[in-house]
Amino acid sequence: MSKTKYTYAVARIRALEVSLLTNAVIEQLLACKSAEQALQLLVEKGWGGDLTAGTLDADEVLNKEEEKMWQTIREVAPDMHVFDVLSLPKLYHNLKAAIKEVCTEVENKNIFYDDCEITGEEMFALVQNKEFDKLPGNMPATAREAFDTLLHTRDGQLCDLIIDHATLEAMLEAGKKSGEKIIEEYAQTAVAIADIKIAVRSQKTGKNAEFMKKAMVNCSEINVDQLTQAALAGAEEIAQYLEGTSYREGADALRISPSAFERWCDNKMTDSMRSQKYESFSVGPLLAYLLARQNEIKTVRIILTGKQNEFPDEAIRERIREMYV
């Protein structure tokens, strides 16, 4: 029966896919004159759930949608550990935020994510009491190292670097542990894209090889040494390196702009998930739904922020991601 354990979940996801935003709806949002009008359109599509129409706030609606998305997956998934790959960045973000709060003695409750394994409050208490061993996976050693580094050097970027590196390693590990090919492939792609983004940003800010090697993680598609050498040589060299990998189409996007590359990365991920529309018994459609929801929430956030700040339509349009349905 293990081969059919996702039957209920996939059927429920199929029914939910009907309410995903289509490219046509995104066009409608783009055509709205103001952020308020766009938000109203989203509310008519059922976004925001039970939030009352009079007190609508864009962030509140988007957060509610994110919460609803995880709630659905929690309800349908027979095993949530398969989705660790997606929730790990939030968990490590909480660690990063807690270490900074404890070390700088500045409190801000709003910087934590509460919809992950260890909530902000719990993480803060663990870090404050230095109970690092209670953290899961590779977190205890990472937390100890990042905490000591920040305390002794006061270098926030170095602290971020240690935790971000550990996040990528944990994602790869979680991908392998999931036992699902598609989750492992997603983890590999997510880490490869993170490596490329690190290389691009490091090249722009003139970071040295040591910094890049500390930040990046080797994965099936990316060789850290080669990417570092390319980044040290220049932006065009990064694009040339990518041409020798399965991210060759991304090289063209990278030559246009970093934001075009980020858009290409998201579109590639959506494209690679499209075949999951025809799967009926695997975890694939659940992952595809999660990514599709994240993608549409990100796109809506771009549109609303663009409209709030009165960006020209063209500037918003070039950042719009393709939708899954």
- Which of the ranges 7-15, 136-144, 159-167, 183-191 carries the binding residues for other proteins, by CB under 8 A? 7-15
Which candidate, 178, 325, 201, places its Cα nearest to that of 259? 201
What is the closest distance, in whole angstroms, from the C-beta atom of residue 81 to other proteins in the complex?
A: 21
**Closer residue to other proteins, CB minimum distance, 250 or 285:** 285
Q: Which of 248, 280, 313, 318 binds other proteins (CB under 8 A)?
A: 280
Supply φ then ψ for residue 77, to 5 degrees.
-75, 130
Q: Does 23 bind other proteins (CB under 8 A)?
A: no
What is the closest distance, in whole angstroms, from the C-beta atom of residue 16 to other proteins in the complex?
A: 6
Q: Does 10 bind other proteins (CB under 8 A)?
A: yes
CA distance 254 to 155: 30
Q: Does 49 bind other proteins (CB under 8 A)?
A: no
Q: Which of 2, 18, 110, 152 binds other proteins (CB under 8 A)?
A: 18
**Closer residue to other proteins, CB minimum distance, 34 or 280:** 280
CA distance 57 to 37: 12
Q: Which of 57, 108, 281, 318 binds other proteins (CB under 8 A)?
A: 281
Structure tokens at 25: 């709806």
Structure tokens at 13: 């996801």
Count CA atoms closer than 13 A to 103's CA, side-chain side.
20
**Closer residue to other proteins, CB minimum distance, 158 or 325:** 325
**Closer residue to other proteins, CB minimum distance, 14 or 81:** 14
**Taking the alpha carbons of 90, 171, 251, 231 in that order, is the dihedral positive or negative?**
positive
Classify residue 156 by burial, with Cβ atoms within 10 Å: 0-12, 13-18, 19+: middle
Q: Which of 12, 45, 68, 301 binds other proteins (CB under 8 A)?
A: 12
Q: Which of 37, 49, 68, 76 binds other proteins (CB under 8 A)?
A: 76
CA distance 79 to 185: 18
Query: By the criterion CB under 8 A, which residues form the site for other proteins?
Result: 4, 7-18, 76, 280-281
